[in-house]
A and B are shown apart, each in its own frame.
Chain A
């Protein structure tokens, strides 16, 4: 990690921002100038500066998604200079700092692009398709009752680690945004492998993968061609191995489940 530099000079930047009134109107790129940006600001703080400036001028601020600003919620989703979450690997937009840019830079900021992620306004897109995929099967059913003992179900450390790695997916949608096919397979595969690896997930193992893949197709996401852009841009490093697990789980479920429909 590069430490903050007290001598770093404030930056002046040109922003090319996608502005779009609502879902039904055509959007376009609008140029803005931001001045005196501290290199220690996060990318979203830089946009806050822009929005305060716009409010002062009586203009409509730029809509963008954000919540925790700690890199764990998966809300922020900007396509910056042609890359999901910007140029730095393994980083969400909120954890991208302005020190990664230089004074005088021009930065292009666009929303995620996918037929299944319609633009709500400006840089904010509707990612409820992901919610519907999770609702289709990305859960385990747990009976109510007394609190179960910790470590009641033995899980080997190696399996627990692999499941946890898959579970780190924050559902930001950078995989869909980066994929030339707008495929959601890295997202779906992370949830499918996490739950397929653990004993708690075995009850619904077959119906889960069948239903989640069916919902994924219904939402209009593309098919994977294994180009690997998704994993390269994933802020939490979900690996392509999960997609192979998804493919295998899907084929095994289709071949052996009792579901004839």
Chain B
């Protein structure tokens, strides 16, 4: 199977891995966001806890969880490895005078840094919620579901978490503003009819998703 490994170890193949996993992670963001919107429901977490219980115990979801971990794993590994390779390709001696800001956007050049902020957030976020729900005994609500809602309520009493979560959403916003349309370019899916629409959808997606996620810690800190 050497042609397969050769394909995915070439510079274009590795970019294709970044693009496919990136778009897959975008689909995860949608699912995660839609579920979490139930945090805003004025029922003290009944619906959110039922959803959380389903996500934690449904066998299909648990199987997809493995795919999700692989998606994150490949995206993070390839992202960091390509950043190192690209830095090496530039060579040891940099420019004394470099005005790259005149020909490209800051966020498109900062994908590795923005992604690293999101990765740090991801670790803290998993520790906050996933770790507690999966590996410890969490008290149950009136319906017998694990009380994930109270975990959220308690975590967002801490202003440090609120700040970290909001900052991370800004990093994710700029990461997606470039990443979404960039993935289509890497997959060779450009066309003068559709590329402007892809760019527009990418911007709207990035802003809506990140604003909605950022609203959660802010809402709990100030209004709960």
Interface, chain A (partner B; CB < 8 A): 16, 18, 27, 29, 79, 81-83, 108, 110, 113-117, 178, 180-183, 185, 213-214, 216-217, 220-229, 232-233, 240-241, 243-251, 254, 259-261
Contact A223 B104 (CB under 8 A): no
Query: Do A227 and B12 have beta carbons less than 8 Å apart?
Result: no
**Could you tell me if B11 and A254 are in contact, using CB atoms closer than 8 angstroms?**
no
Cα distance A16–B104 in the bound complex, in angstroms: 25
Known pairs A225-B111, A227-B105, A247-B186; A81 contacts B99 (CB<8 A): yes
B99→A228 contact, CB < 8 A: no
A259 to B3, CA, bound (A): 8
Which one of B15, B88, B103 contacts A83 once the chains associate, using CB atoms below 8 Å? B103
Is B144's CB within 8 Å of the partner chain A? no
Nearest Cβ on chain B to A169's Cβ, whole angstroms:
18
A254 touches B7 (CB 8 A): yes
Does B187 touch A at the CB level, under 8 Å?
Answer: yes
Complex contacts, B182 vs chain A, CB 8 Å: 225-226
- Residues of chain A within 8 A (CB-CB) of B14 are 223
Does B2 lie within 8 Å of A29, measured CB to CB? Answer: no
Given contacts A228-B108, A232-B103, contact A247 B90 (CB under 8 A): no
- Residue A250 contacts which of B12, B97, B104 (CB distance < 8 angstroms)? B12
- Chain A nearest Cβ from B94, distance in angstroms: 7
Among candidates A113, A214, A216, A243, residue contacting B95 with C-beta atoms closer than 8 Å: A113
Contacts of A181 in B (CB 8 A): 86, 89-90
Docked pose: A241 CA to B201 CA in angstroms: 19
- The residues of A that contact B2 with a CB separation of less than 8 Å are 260-261
Distance of A217 Cα from B14 Cα, bound (Å): 12
Interface residue? B27 (CB, 8 A)? no
A213: B residues at CB distance < 8 A: 10-12
B residues 80-104 touching A (CB-CB < 8 Å): 82, 85-86, 88-100, 102-104
Q: A82-B99, A222-B85, A229-B100 are contacts. A246–B90 as well, Cβ < 8 Å?
A: no
Cα A18 to Cα B12 with chains together (Å)? 33
Tell me, rounded to whole Å, the shortest Cβ–Cβ distance linking B181 to chain A: 8
- The answer to whether A114 touches B90, judged by C-beta atoms less than 8 angstroms apart, is yes
A180 CB contact (under 8 Å) in B3, B11, B90: B90
Q: Report yes or no: A240 in contact with B86, Cβ–Cβ below 8 A.
A: no
Quick check: is B62 within 8 A (CB to CB) of the other chain? no
> Most chain-A CB neighbours within 10 Å: which of B2, B97, B108, B182?
B97
Q: What distance in Å separates the Cβ of B16 from its nearest Cβ neighbour in chain A? A: 7
B91 and A110 within 8 A (CB)? no
B75 within 8 A of A: no
> A29: which B residues are within 8 A, CB to CB?
96
Q: How far is the CB of A14 from chain B (nearest CB, A)?
A: 13
Q: Say whether A81 contacts B97, CB under 8 Å.
A: yes
Residue of A nearest to B93 (CB): A113
A-B CB contact pairs (8 Å), 21 listed: A79-B97, A82-B100, A113-B93, A114-B89, A181-B86, A185-B11, A216-B11, A217-B10, A221-B11, A223-B14, A226-B108, A226-B185, A228-B103, A229-B103, A243-B185, A246-B188, A248-B189, A249-B188, A254-B13, A261-B2, A261-B6
Whether A233 and B91, one on each chain, are in contact in the complex, defined by CB atoms closer than 8 angstroms, is no
B128 at the interface (CB under 8 A from A): no
* Residues of chain A within 8 A of B41, CB atoms compared: none
Q: Which residues of B contact A225 (CB under 8 A)?
A: 15, 82, 86, 108-109, 111, 182
**Given A16-B96, A251-B12, list of 18 further CB < 8 A pairs?**
A79-B95, A81-B97, A114-B91, A181-B89, A183-B11, A213-B12, A220-B89, A221-B11, A223-B12, A225-B82, A225-B111, A241-B190, A243-B185, A244-B185, A247-B16, A250-B10, A254-B7, A260-B3
Distance of B96 from chain A, by nearest CB (Å): 6
CA distance A224 to B98 in the complex (A): 19
A222 in contact with B103 given A110-B97, A227-B108 (CB within 8 Å): no
Which one of A83, A245, A246, A259 has the greatest number of beta carbons of chain B within 10 Å? Answer: A83
